[in-house]
Amino acid sequence: MTADDEDVLRIPVEWHPHIDPRRDGRSLPALTPVPKAAAKAAKLVADAATTLETVLAGPTADGDCVAAARDQLAGIATPLGAAVVAGVVTTTLADARLGGLAVFADAWASSHGIVFAAEAVAELADLTVSAGIPKQSGSARSAETTGPGMDTQAPPLGPRPRSAGEQHPARWPAEPVARRVRALLAHADEADYVAAGIALAARRRGEFQRTVTAFLLPTEQSWLGAGAAGSGSRGITAVDSLLARTTRSAADGSRLLTALAADRNASTEQWWSLLCTAADGLDDYTVLIGLATTLLHGRPLGDGRVPAVPAARDVAAAILAALPADAAFTALTHTSEEEWDVGAAVATAVRRFPRRGLRLLAGVQASASTAAGRLSRNLAAANPALAAEVLSTLSGAAADRLATTIQANNRYRVAADDAVPTPLTVVPWTRTTPASPVPAIFDLPVPPTEPPSAHWLPGEQHAWARHRAAEAYHDWDEAFADWASVADAHRRGALSDSKSVRLFAEGPATLVGPMLAEWHPDYSWDIGRHARRLAGRHGVAVLPTLRRMAAEQPLTCAVSLLPFRDAAVAELMAELFSRSATVRTVASAWLARHGVHAARLLLPAALGGDGRGRTRARAALRVAADGHEEAVTADAARLYGEAAGEVVARLTAVDPLDTDPMSGRAARQPVVGDWADPVLLPPILLSDGRHTLPRTAILTLLTVLATRGMRRSHPLLVAIRASCDTASLGEFVWRLHQIKEKTDRRERTGWEQRAGADVSDWAVTALGLLGDDETARRIAGIISGRARVVGAARNVAVVRALAEIGTDAALTHLQRVDRRDRTERQQDQARLWLTIEAGRRGLGLAQLAQRTVPRLGFGPDGRQTVDYGRRRFSVSIDDGLQLVVTDETGAVRKTLPAVLASDDHERAQAGQDRIRVLRAELRAVVDDQVRRLTDEMTRPVPQPVALFREGLHHPVLWPVSRGLVWLAVEPGRKPVAFRVAEDRTFADVDDDELAVTDAATVSPAHPARLGAGLDRWAKTFSEYEILQPFPQLGRPVPALTDDERGASELARFHGLVLTGAALRRLTHPSHAWQKAGLRPDGSYRALIRETGDRTVVVELDVSPAGRRRIHRIRLHDEPGGGWGDRQAGRPFGDLDSATAAEVIADLTTLTEAGQIA
């Protein structure tokens, strides 16, 4: 394209459907005849027959109009008769169907000629069929106006000429007919066009009719006269819209369009017609630049700002992208934000005007990471010769910027076709031979029956049995004072479902266990809250109830089925897997957790079930068999025969690029929107760091990413990650997501934004398919903010993307979501994915947290190197968990040195940036470990000694482990305290080496458990100058008095009045206390802390003013705590010393914040 070519306005073909053509316009869109137009018009008239009879007999019907209409219906056609009939038909159609009126134009033209059609439209413009409020909701009559003195509650009926006093209609329902006739006239031969002009010249009686006739023949500009100024003080009407698409005057067109923009009532489709027609017909199209800029960005106005027009933004962007003017390109690409929300239009503009784009982007001061900087670099890379030519025409700062861009691009070359990863050169959706359907097998042998069973992760059942979600409303001081009485009320049917749920969730197991078989509750809010607790306490015995509740309310109850293996559960999970994303996550967790066993339970339905059930079972089977394909195939052959094994082998080998994994049908090529144009995205480097993927390969990759059912483990994606630079892939999908996020936010309507409606999630899924650790960090940074912005489906997708990345860093971020996120739904989603990963590795969640602490880029020796070119520095973590830098001479320093002139500035800057990020990452990881280990110290979660030894070779866990005293517990032996010596061996308090077998478990030692050795350990750490990551040996260890050990109540705290601040601190998630006895007014009557097999209960008296006072503190052996129970509690001496110390310390905190009454 030459420079001159970029200064010519060429109307894009995509605009043609929106343009009202004119014979003297810049383009003349092709005209497609409407097939069977006369028959379609006759059908519309027949459908309106009843209305026609009513209206023609109406009290305001004009005699000439009625006579002409009846002649028209009898087959005697006249323009007036055709107009009256069409006008009545408009009153019967809802607004969404008005476009169908255009068939009248083709019907009239084909039967009576184009001149007749033009005359009929002119008559229609001077006709009023009805006035006032329409009888039919959504009817086009809502667009007609009321004449002076008319009764708006009982509109008079009957066609009549438009009176002189009538206002112009705000919208003209017959406009589709006029637009079609104008198009037919634009394509008519010269003789017909002239004849139409003569005929219409005689039909220019009223102002609105004059406007319509000018619209039909826009070459007759003299017909506009003073009307081109618009309706002015009378408000925006249909006249303005028609005139804006008729006039060639740039001044009049700009004024009319600006008035329409200020009115803000036009729809998106109307804006397409207005602006595209104006661009085609105005003698000076540049007047559209200012208007389009206002529509797109808004404009300042005094102290305020005129906002952009949402309905017109896409249209305005498309207009600016096509106008060959610097101002248009600048208005489109100018933004201070990181991404454009009109990226498709920007991509179109640079394809049409690459020379202008290179020149103008060079004048923008933008870093390479911004949208403008990235676009400039991609445009120069795609057009290297043109970039060099444009550079020769520039000077000053613009020339320097473009030269820098070209120089940066010279470091990379677009890869040749033979260097592109093979999977991206073989496009799967172009295969001509579709995969044959997988057959069903009926009359299967009956497999051996497997009784329902529960399979718990380490520590999971204990946690579930004591799980407390936000509790249901209970009347604590009356109900449940005596569990036996409550159970008796349940047997007599005198207990509500809500209270029955609490009975089985918290009542003594010996009491409620025998009643489980006869418990058949209806769903209630409480059962969803207590479902996990019920599963943890009662196991398989409560499975039938939980399964039924999960089928009715999967969103709250399905998660309670995760530990259970059962054929009915497998069938339910297959069904849930086909539902919404939120519920599908639970089903995915169950399928992945039970793997081969889940697949075995699904085989009968997947091989020979009914149609819909078979489709669901097969989709679920593929998830369960992921990574276990050979074992599942062998199971199928063993249980059901070789043919079944072959079918399963085909099912588990399904490629989502060939077959939709959900429906089993041939996969369709997904549509990638214009917003994802490669010119807007960062380049993808190959693994050699010198070549980039070509545009065709990137387009193929985008289509692959948009394919439903893609997994990170897909061979194509594995090959791409192996062939391409990891960081550039992560940056690519992150920018893809950012652009889509901006586009979706713009496309949502106001209510959709408030409700969090989602437009598309595949760009979010792509984060998990190709993202890296940096992507995971970015995802984690937006999750909490996203929770209140977008809907549930995208929340699920974002959390899943984090889990799909699956690196230690990604799982660490997922654990933070589980631990810290402010929304219970996102916490549940994070916990589900963590459970899946823990199940795959055969670990508990606490063990997974230990195993997945990120290494932060440190090598096996605990060091990483920063390269300054001529100088290199080693970075490591010291005993104080701070970064230290060592130069080549062995000198230690806290930070990297300043960059010298002799250094490689780019490498040095990259190194400094990396260390800056590393400090923040290290601080976050250390905070995580301090929180985790403090929690494990106060609430022990023993880990296998083998897992503990692994951590001693971890760059972060090693200095953390060295700074603590640990307890090793051998089976059948007393716990032994030890520390980790410098050589990674274990040393006891006497500094002798301690041998610990692989059968032992390890946990941080609570100072109360060290007994008399506490002081000796403190002395050892002081002598060796060992720094502790958190106060362990200096932690306060308050103890129970002798009287308190034998007492069932902790009387020293009775009568304490608690402040709101103290209660908020104690019930924060970082503490072990929870609220209980929640009331409908938001108050609560107890605090509980579950410790092993005991529960500490702080019962509260609440005054009418809401002031809380400690009534009593007791110890119970039931997981619910028995708060409100009048029976005696357990003696506090049952608590071990560490738990007693933590309870007293927490209550002492309350004492310091409150006061004793």
- Domain total for the chain? 6
Q: What is the mean pLDDT of residues 242-248?
A: 90
Q: What is the pTM of this model?
A: 0.77
Which residue, of 402, 419, 436, is where some domain finishes? 419
Q: Tens digit of pLDDT for each residue in 782-840?
A: 776 654 444 455 667 888 899 899 899 999 999 888 877 556 667 778 888 888 888 77
Note the pLDDT of residue 1.
55
Domain-located, residue 790: no
- Residue (of 45, 64, 31) closest to 183 by Cα position: 31
Asked if residue 1055 and residue 1017 are part of one domain, the reply reads no
Task: Give yes or no for residue 369 having a pLDDT over 70.
Answer: no
Judged by average pLDDT, the poorest of 249-253, 619-623, 655-659 is 655-659
For residue 1086, give the 3-state DSSP assignment.
strand
Note the pLDDT of residue 438.
83
Task: Give yes or no for residue 77 having a pLDDT over 70.
Answer: yes
* Sequence letter at residue 1056: L
Considering only residues 720 and 1105, tell me which one the structure prediction assigns the higher pLDDT.
720
Considering only residues 302 and 894, tell me which one the structure prediction assigns the higher pLDDT.
894
Task: Give yes or no for residue 1126 having a pLDDT over 80.
Answer: no
Contact 688, 741 (CB under 8 A): no
pLDDT band of residue 1069 (cuts 50, 70, 90) is: low
pLDDT band of residue 660 (cuts 50, 70, 90) is: confident
User: What domain range includes position 57?
Assistant: 31-223
Domain-located, residue 431: no
Note the pLDDT of residue 472.
42
Q: What is the mean pLDDT of residues 528-545?
A: 89
Q: How far is CA 327 from CA 274, 287, 504, in A?
A: 21, 11, 72
Domain-located, residue 467: yes
Asked if residue 415 and residue 377 are part of one domain, the reply reads yes
Q: Tens digit of pLDDT for each residue in 374-402?
A: 888 888 888 889 989 999 998 988 898 88
Asked if residue 492 and residue 576 are part of one domain, the reply reads yes
Contact 376, 405 (CB under 8 A): yes
Asked if residue 55 and residue 76 are part of one domain, the reply reads yes
Note the pLDDT of residue 67.
95
pLDDT band of residue 1127 (cuts 50, 70, 90) is: low
Calculate the average pLDDT of the chain: 83
Task: Give yes or no for residue 480 having a pLDDT over 70.
Answer: no
Domain-located, residue 556: yes
Q: What is the mean pLDDT of residues 960-969?
A: 95
Domain-located, residue 253: no
Q: Where are the alpha helices (DSSP H) in 806-952?
A: 808-820, 824-841, 845-851, 905-938, 945-951
Domain-located, residue 642: yes
Note the pLDDT of residue 147.
33
1094-1102: strand order across its sheet = 1073-1076, 1086-1091, 1094-1102, 1108-1116, 1056-1058, 1155-1156
Asked if residue 1054 and residue 962 are part of one domain, the reply reads no
Q: What is the mean pLDDT of residues 225-245?
A: 66
Q: What is the mean pLDDT of residues 476-488?
A: 66
List the structure tokens of 976.
Answer: 């032994």
Judged by average pLDDT, the poorest of 212-226, 657-671, 866-880, 1128-1142 is 657-671
Note the pLDDT of residue 822.
54
Q: Tens digit of pLDDT for each residue in 45-60?
A: 999 999 999 889 888 8
Q: Where are the alpha helices (DSSP H) in 454-580?
A: 460-465, 483-491, 497-506, 509-512, 525-538, 543-552, 554-557, 567-577
Can you tell me the distance from the alpha carbon of 401 to that of 359, in angstroms, rounded to the nearest whole number? Answer: 10
Domain-located, residue 695: no
Task: Give yes or no for residue 749 having a pLDDT over 60.
Answer: no
Task: Give yes or no for residue 299 having a pLDDT over 80.
Answer: no
Q: Tens digit of pLDDT for each residue in 107-156?
A: 999 999 999 999 999 999 998 886 433 433 333 333 343 333 333 344 54
What lies within 8 Å, CB to CB, of 418 at 6+ separation is: none
Task: Give yes or no for residue 306 having a pLDDT over 60.
Answer: no
pLDDT band of residue 1104 (cuts 50, 70, 90) is: confident
Asked if residue 998 and residue 1105 are part of one domain, the reply reads no
Q: Tens digit of pLDDT for each residue in 78-95?
A: 999 999 999 999 989 888
Asked if residue 610 and residue 484 are part of one domain, the reply reads yes
List the structure tokens of 840.
Answer: 């795959």
Token look-up 């026609």 returns: 52
Which residue, of 1023, 1050, 1076, is where some domain finishes? 1023
Asked if residue 894 and residue 941 are part of one domain, the reply reads no
DSSP assignment of 943-991: EEHHHHHHHTTSTTHHHHHHTS-EEEE-TTS--EEEEE-TTS-EE-TTS
H or E element that contains 692: strand 691-692
Can you tell me the distance from the alpha carbon of 526 to that of 534, in angstroms, rounded to the nearest whole number? Answer: 11
Asked if residue 1006 and residue 1106 are part of one domain, the reply reads no
Asked if residue 163 and residue 217 are part of one domain, the reply reads yes
List the structure tokens of 1130.
Answer: 């357990």
pLDDT band of residue 679 (cuts 50, 70, 90) is: confident
Note the pLDDT of residue 481.
55
Contact 210, 204 (CB under 8 A): yes
Q: Tens digit of pLDDT for each residue in 1020-1061?
A: 999 999 999 999 999 989 999 999 999 988 888 888 887 777
Can you tell me the distance from the alpha carbon of 380 to that of 1124, in angstroms, rounded to the nearest whole number? Answer: 75
Contacts 24+ apart (CB under 8 A), 945-953: 945/996, 945/997, 945/998, 945/999, 945/1000, 945/1001, 945/1002, 946/998, 947/847, 947/850, 947/851, 948/850, 948/1002, 949/984, 950/851, 951/850, 951/853, 952/980, 952/984, 953/860, 953/984
Torsion angle (degrees, nearest 10) of CA 604, 608, 609, 614: 90
Contact 977, 989 (CB under 8 A): yes
Domain-located, residue 844: no
Asked if residue 176 and residue 38 are part of one domain, the reply reads yes
Asked if residue 310 and residue 216 are part of one domain, the reply reads no
Task: Give yes or no for residue 339 having a pLDDT over 60.
Answer: no
Can you tell me the distance from the alpha carbon of 1064 to that of 400, in angstroms, rounded to the nearest whole number? Answer: 58
Note the pLDDT of residue 165.
60
Judged by average pLDDT, the poorest of 416-420, 929-933, 1046-1050 is 416-420
